[in-house]
Amino acid sequence: MKEVKVLLKDDEIPRQWYNVQADLPTPMPPPLHPGTGQPLAPEDMARIFPMNLIEQEMSLERWIDIPEEVLEKLLLWRPSPLSRAYNFERILDSPVKIYYKNEGLSPAGSHKPNTAVAQAYYNKIFGIKRISTETGAGQWGSALSMACNMFGIECRVFMVRVSYDQKPYRRLMMQTWGADCFPSPSEITETGRRILADNPDSPGSLGIAISEAIEDIMDKEDCRYALGSVLNHVVLHQTIIGLEAHRQMEKIGVYPDVVIGCAGGGSNFAGLALPFVRDKIHGREVSVVAAEPTSCPTLTRGPYAYDFGDLAMTTPLLAMYTLGHDYVPAPIHAGGLRYHGMAPIVSHLVKERLVEPRAYNQLETFDAGVKWARAEGFIPAPETNHAIAAVVEEARRAKEEGREKTILFNWSGHGLVDLASYDAYLSGKLVNYSLPDEDIKRAKETVSRFPKP
Amino acid sequence: MKEVKVLLKDDEIPRQWYNVQADLPTPMPPPLHPGTGQPLAPEDMARIFPMNLIEQEMSLERWIDIPEEVLEKLLLWRPSPLSRAYNFERILDSPVKIYYKNEGLSPAGSHKPNTAVAQAYYNKIFGIKRISTETGAGQWGSALSMACNMFGIECRVFMVRVSYDQKPYRRLMMQTWGADCFPSPSEITETGRRILADNPDSPGSLGIAISEAIEDIMDKEDCRYALGSVLNHVVLHQTIIGLEAHRQMEKIGVYPDVVIGCAGGGSNFAGLALPFVRDKIHGREVSVVAAEPTSCPTLTRGPYAYDFGDLAMTTPLLAMYTLGHDYVPAPIHAGGLRYHGMAPIVSHLVKERLVEPRAYNQLETFDAGVKWARAEGFIPAPETNHAIAAVVEEARRAKEEGREKTILFNWSGHGLVDLASYDAYLSGKLVNYSLPDEDIKRAKETVSRFPKP
């Protein structure tokens, strides 16, 4: 009988996160204070994040211990299995071996709880009583709701109103886990009230929701904000995925030729990829591919520049590939990939040519996702379908080249709460979006007024 | 670090199903032909099920080999972890150890695929090209859709129209897995057309859907029907849950004092319980508890009698606890527990006092389920909440008695596609239902015209 899954026992779970900054050939440009243009000091972020997470954000230590209390919660679903996709291999009819980390088995259905649990813990021991955050489609908001509840912290989620109304399931997850979920713009912040006064029917936006979440905790001693991707500490917490995968592949004596993840803010991609990027920095041959949507082609077409992480320009300036902080991506179903920027760590690795970005259009990603669901059973999230589209492309190349190849990818989440997107695809209502050159030109103009990395 | 999960490796998956009939102290009353009142012959079912499954239905062999092709598919998610619910134990503050089998990790989110895969396989090797079935809320229909697709069989699901309209997610799962899902009553059967002619707005019922599914395959050489619970072969396929759990508990040197499952048709309950019932038959001390809704109290209040499995009286007469084949249960959210009868195997064990039934009302089950979700992360299906309510009761008793106790229960499925029910509960809109004695009296009258078991 063929072995389908490689498991790690509870006591084989990684005890440390991996910080790639310790191994980078060239250092990353630091985040800048938007007022002074100077590198950010820890104190500059102290009203937004607890100091223990800020220290982690800035740390250059290679290995950072995972607290026992965090491990205890992660063990509810981790280590996640490394599975071999025999059935998908069969339909691709290509000389590839395909392995995937199944991050869809977490209670919230994606990789997001890996960092949510860690962030809730660090906030808790710093004495924080309430965390506020924003969420688009709801993956991050639901993960943080669960994690806050586990550590007895209040959680407020500002959810973009159009998603709040159209996607009730993720809101209901948050409420089941005891969080307060507000449609944004809301009546409970100054920002929200101002926008509603102008336009009572405002559908909201991620930018507005971020502003509301930050306003909600600002100047409150025991409240802080939390972010679900992009930042270094978030990426750090996700490396548990790649560290497990590394160990699992070692167990079966296999090493990947290609490592693939989808990239929106960059955390699930980096979470799987970084331990392999480390090998690559040390001379091992491995391709590392970040798959993004053609409608939001940050890495493949955006300029590398200092830019804000949010529309309202409240974040520090981050050195990253960006389509401009005021860019509004097309309404693709992979909501988690609709972000104008990209994690500075991932951006730096792309710039250093350690990671290769590729873009896939909406229809080919759903085509890949439906093929996957029919072969392997598990229905992928629309975001995950981008990684699967890259797997399909790798398999096609391998077949053309007649070359055996081992592929490892991050199956970042299930699509059970996103089935409406499959409905749209199967009934022929989905379309592709591409970005006019005009928009790239505009992005370059937007960032031209900021310092250069 | 405390071990949370006990895992089995792929090569430790059970290779045989367990048939409790080989160990029963007294034999089960056979199913009867409704026309003749005589025990059913295999040929009587040959137009409905493939002969290899009929043989399994009637087999008295203790161990039945699981075909390699079935194991290969089950390995996509099985063996499922046996987890210790430390966090839930903590909030119950009782001297109990709680272990659960997480059947929510399957692609369809419940235990249903365990038998769907087996049934699709046996149909396939019997030369069947299309399977038709009915589904209420959609758990069974989605599981069978996935399984049929894996073996290249067409699948038609007749879904009760009111669920089809109100619960689009499970229908979308079926369609994503390539099945044809029709709202029932439909235009594609004589039965459906007749009902629609009388009442174009008919909301449908499980009884109508069963009749449509059976009509759809009747007299077609290469089409058959499939059922997701109740029957012996379905229960048999589910015993893989309990066989795994048995092995997992052995690994850690623990044996349960109480084994619990929720019971609608009876298959997830029996799937976990039967290997422990076997121990009990052979003298080991263990309580086995079946948890059902007070609104559909088949085991706790129904008469034990011969009755039909469906409203339309198309099935054989089965010896079981029943509320009468024409009973329409209250609209509780645990759709999978809204069945008038109970698996003959489970009914027989209750009659023999090897299994103890208990009933829980809707509010206490959701109270237990929300507590669980907040402690352990995973959001349970409304059906599963009945098992959790029984766990809560056992823990309370143990505390009162000051007695340490080990509980094992079947976490039969997740509630991510049933979140509307949590919304209703959290916003105070859920109510309890109880059954008037009148209805029990009526049930006894209904079955009084059939032979006695």
Q: What are A59-70's pLDDT values in tens digits?
A: 999 999 999 999
Regarding whether A95 and A126 lie in a shared domain, the answer is no
A373/chain B closest Cα distance in angstroms:
7
Is residue A23 a part of any domain in this protein?
Answer: no
Is residue B262 a part of any domain in this protein?
Answer: yes
Minimum Cα–Cα distance from A377: chain B residue: B107
| pLDDT at position B215 | 94
State the average pLDDT over residues A325-347.
Answer: 91
| pLDDT at position A331 | 85
Can you tell me whether residue B407 is helix, strand or coil? Answer: strand
Using alpha carbons, select from B172, B180, B171, B112 the residue that is nearest to residue B147.
Answer: B112
Regarding whether B416 and B328 lie in a shared domain, the answer is yes
Asked if B248 is an interface residue toward chain A (Cβ–Cβ < 8 A), one would say no
How many Cβ pairs within 8 Å bridge chains A and B?
A: 141
B415/chain A closest Cα distance in angstroms:
10
> Chain A, 131-190: which have a CB under 8 Å from a chain B CB?
146, 149-150, 168-169, 172-173, 175-178
Is residue A19 a part of any domain in this protein?
Answer: no
Q: Which of A165-169, B190-194, B378-382, B388-392 has the lowest mean pLDDT?
A: A165-169
- Residue B271 identity: G
Range of the domain at A275: 5-10+67-109+233-436
> Chain A, 36-95: which have a CB under 8 Å from a chain B CB?
68, 71-73, 75-77, 83, 86-87
| pLDDT at position B2 | 86
| Residue B76 to residue A379, Cβ atoms within 8 A | no
The last residue of one of the domains, among B183, B211, B229, is B229
Is residue B338 a part of any domain in this protein?
Answer: yes
* Residue A51 reports pLDDT greater than 80: yes
State the average pLDDT over residues B309-336.
Answer: 89
Regarding whether B315 and B303 lie in a shared domain, the answer is yes
* Residue A24 reports pLDDT greater than 80: yes
Question: Mind listing the pLDDT tens digit for each residue in A434-452?
Answer: 899 999 999 999 999 999 9
| CB neighbourhood size of A256 (10 A) | 22
Distance of CA B233 to the CA centre of its chain: 12
In this structure, what CATH number is given to the domain that contains residue A347?
A: 3.40.50.1100
Mutate to test the interface with B, among A2, A8, A66, A77 (most CBs of B within 10 A): A77
Question: Mind listing the pLDDT tens digit for each residue in A294-317?
Answer: 999 999 999 999 999 988 888 899
Minimum Cα–Cα distance from B68: chain A residue: A1
Regarding whether B191 and B78 lie in a shared domain, the answer is no
| pLDDT at position A305 | 98
| pLDDT at position A363 | 97
Is residue B28 a part of any domain in this protein?
Answer: no
Can you tell me whether residue A26 is helix, strand or coil? Answer: coil
Distance (Å, whole) CA A343 – CA A140:
16
Cross-strand partners of A257 = none
User: Which one has a higher pLDDT value, A80 or A162?
Assistant: A80
* Residue A268 reports pLDDT greater than 90: yes
What average pLDDT is seen over chain B? 96
Mutate to test the interface with B, among A91, A416, A427, A429 (most CBs of B within 10 A): A416
| pLDDT at position A166 | 82
**Where residue B146 falls among pLDDT bands split at 50, 70, 90?**
very high
Is residue B36 a part of any domain in this protein?
Answer: no
Minimum Cα–Cα distance from A105: chain B residue: B105
Structural element, H or E, at residue B304 = strand B304-308
Question: Mind listing the pLDDT tens digit for each residue in A233-250?
Answer: 999 999 999 999 999 999
Regarding whether B216 and B240 lie in a shared domain, the answer is no
Is residue A448 a part of any domain in this protein?
Answer: no
Q: What percent of chain A has pLDDT over 70?
A: 100
Question: Mind listing the pLDDT tens digit for each residue in A313-328?
Answer: 888 999 999 999 988 8
Question: Mind listing the pLDDT tens digit for each residue in B406-417?
Answer: 999 999 999 999
State the average pLDDT over residues A117-133.
Answer: 98
Asked if A368 is an interface residue toward chain B (Cβ–Cβ < 8 A), one would say no
Torsion angle, alpha carbons of A262, A267, A269, A271, to 10: -150
Structure ipTM: 0.96
**Where residue B225 falls among pLDDT bands split at 50, 70, 90?**
very high
Question: Mind listing the pLDDT tens digit for each residue in A190-215?
Answer: 999 999 999 999 988 888 898 899 99
Regarding whether B248 and B340 lie in a shared domain, the answer is yes
Can you tell me whether residue B58 is helix, strand or coil? Answer: helix
Distance (Å, whole) CA B135 – CA B130:
16
| pLDDT at position A332 | 85
**Where residue B234 falls among pLDDT bands split at 50, 70, 90?**
very high
Chain A hits for B385, Cβ within 8 Å? none
Please give the tally of structural domains in chain A: 2
Chain B hits for A378, Cβ within 8 Å? 76, 107
User: Which one has a higher pLDDT value, A310 or B20?
Assistant: B20
Regarding whether B163 and B117 lie in a shared domain, the answer is yes
Q: Are B141 and B174 in contact (CB under 8 A)?
A: yes
CB-count exposure of residue A161 (10 Å: 0-12, 13-18, 19+): buried
**Where residue B334 falls among pLDDT bands split at 50, 70, 90?**
confident
Regarding whether B77 and B188 lie in a shared domain, the answer is no
What average pLDDT is seen over chain A? 96
| pLDDT at position B189 | 95
Regarding whether B176 and B190 lie in a shared domain, the answer is yes
CA atoms within 13 A on the CB side of B430: 20
Regarding whether A348 and A267 lie in a shared domain, the answer is yes
Regarding whether B309 and B324 lie in a shared domain, the answer is yes
* Residue B227 reports pLDDT greater than 90: yes
Using alpha carbons, select from A135, A79, A139, A137 the residue that is nearest to residue A113.
Answer: A139
Distance (Å, whole) CA B81 – CA B72:
18
The last residue of one of the domains, among B199, B229, B259, is B229
| pLDDT at position A205 | 85
Minimum Cα–Cα distance from A426: chain B residue: B176
* Residue B126 reports pLDDT greater than 80: yes
State the average pLDDT over residues B215-238.
Answer: 96
Question: Mind listing the pLDDT tens digit for each residue in B191-221?
Answer: 999 999 999 999 888 888 988 999 999 989 9
| Residue B419 to residue A168, Cβ atoms within 8 A | yes
Regarding whether A246 and A225 lie in a shared domain, the answer is no
* Residue A1 reports pLDDT greater than 80: no
In the numeric block, which tokens belong to residue A403? 């070359």
Question: Mind listing the pLDDT tens digit for each residue in A87-119?
Answer: 999 999 999 999 999 999 999 999 999 999 999
State the average pLDDT over residues B418-429.
Answer: 95
Is residue A25 a part of any domain in this protein?
Answer: no
The last residue of one of the domains, among A208, A229, A250, is A229
**Where residue B129 falls among pLDDT bands split at 50, 70, 90?**
very high
Asked if A7 is an interface residue toward chain B (Cβ–Cβ < 8 A), one would say yes
